[in-house]
Chain A
Amino acid sequence: MRHLEAAAIGLVFAIAAAYMAVLSARQASSVHHLGAQRALAWALLNAQKPENVTQLLALALNGTQTEVLLSNPGEPLKPRLPVCYSAALVNATSNEVKVVTVCAGP
């Protein structure tokens, strides 16, 4: 009987721990994309040229599961991750525009 009790308690602990782990992983990913948005804003404030913005962005997002895409206007966006934020990098002198996109997700 005691073995049965111990097994039942162990089972409850195992299931609860697994559930908590899944829940916290999902929670973390939902918070994560807010960081991506702010990282893009920070990079935009500190740099002007596309290559400098993407460099700063990569620095800010280092070690996190995100992707950074640099595209020309009109090019279709094909991100792997679902939650994306874009910014237009404008060169008003040459009238050239590049779009930098950062995507995050679970």
Chain B
Amino acid sequence: MRGTLKTRVRRKGQLALIGVILLASTLIALLSLYELQPKAAYERGHLQAAQLVHLTRACMASGSCTREVLALLVQRLYQLNQSYPLRMHVTYVVQAPNPGSVSVAGNTISVANTTIFEIETLQTPFTNAYEQVTVSVTARSETTGRRYEKQVGEKTYTMVEVKVTYTHSYTSPFFNVALCPALRALDKVADLKRLSRCEWLLGAPLELSQPVDISAGVKGYRYNLMDEFGVRVPVLFRG
């Protein structure tokens, strides 16, 4: 009698278990038939900031990059944005790389060209503040005091040895990147050797350098190199 009751209870339990399993499997099967419609939420930020860095370098490579020239290039991006998914948002040019600034500290002369953009990010509607993308290109030169003669063809040049530190720095709300682009000479006379990531040793031919006023009362020379992005790099040194 007790054995029969126990068996009946076990069978009811087993049937309930099967019921639960069937219900669960039906629910999961129905759920798996449900077609998910993936919605693409486009990421915003990195690409726009990188695009502005690219634009600044292109503008600098063209020669004189003023605020007007840069603003025209930004307008071009807006136009392309209508037919291609550039995903450009409101951008203002706050500062252009030209004319740049020169500072002299002892034997070291620095030329800095800084470009500043203000862009609308996802944060802007909440804070009412635009965020900045900054591109800073710095060339620092320091004469070592060594001079030597170099014969190229039939001509003899006086070479002035200058240590050059050249950096690109890109800051934005999305990334902070520092690059040390490769440099090359524009003639076959200069001697150029990479010392470390950003440091170069330049033998600048004095005869191919341009006499300039470095700052008030400081006279010197300017010798141009070119970086891997096509940007002219001014190396200033005292003669």
- Co-complex (A, B): yes
Q: A87 touches which one: B11, B51, B62, B65 (CB < 8 A)?
A: B51
* Contact (Cβ within 8 A) B61 A38: no
Assess whether A46 is interfacial by the CB under 8 Å rule. Answer: yes
Instruction: Please name the residue on chain A nearest to B18 by beta carbon.
Output: A8
Question: What 1/0 flags go to B137-159 for Cβ under 8 Å of A?
Answer: 00000000000000000000000
CB <8 Å contact, A48 and B229: yes
Interface residues on A, range: 35 or more
Question: Given A30-B40, A45-B177: A12 and B53 within 8 A (CB)?
Answer: no
Interface of A is mostly: helix
User: What are the interface flags for A15-34 relative to B under an 8 Å C-beta threshold, 1 for contact and 0 otherwise?
Assistant: 11011001100100110011
The chain B residue sitting closest to A1, CB to CB, is B14
Q: Are A88 and B29 in contact (CB under 8 A)?
A: no
Task: Among B31, B50, B55, point to the contact of A90 (Cβ < 8 A).
Answer: B55
The interface residues of chain B, by DSSP majority, are classed as helix
- Which residues of A have CB within 8 Å of B65? 92
Tell me the count of chain B residues lying within 8 A, CB to CB, of chain A: 50
List chain A residues, Cβ under 8 A from B28. 12, 15-16, 19
List residues of A whose CB falls within 8 A of some B CB: 1, 4-5, 8-9, 11-12, 15-16, 18-19, 22-23, 26, 29-30, 33-34, 37-38, 40-42, 44-46, 48, 73-74, 77, 82-93, 97, 99, 101, 106
Q: Please list the 7 inter-chain residue pairs (A to B) with the smallest Cβ-Cβ separation, ordered nearest first.
A: A92-B62, A41-B50, A41-B46, A86-B84, A44-B50, A19-B32, A90-B58
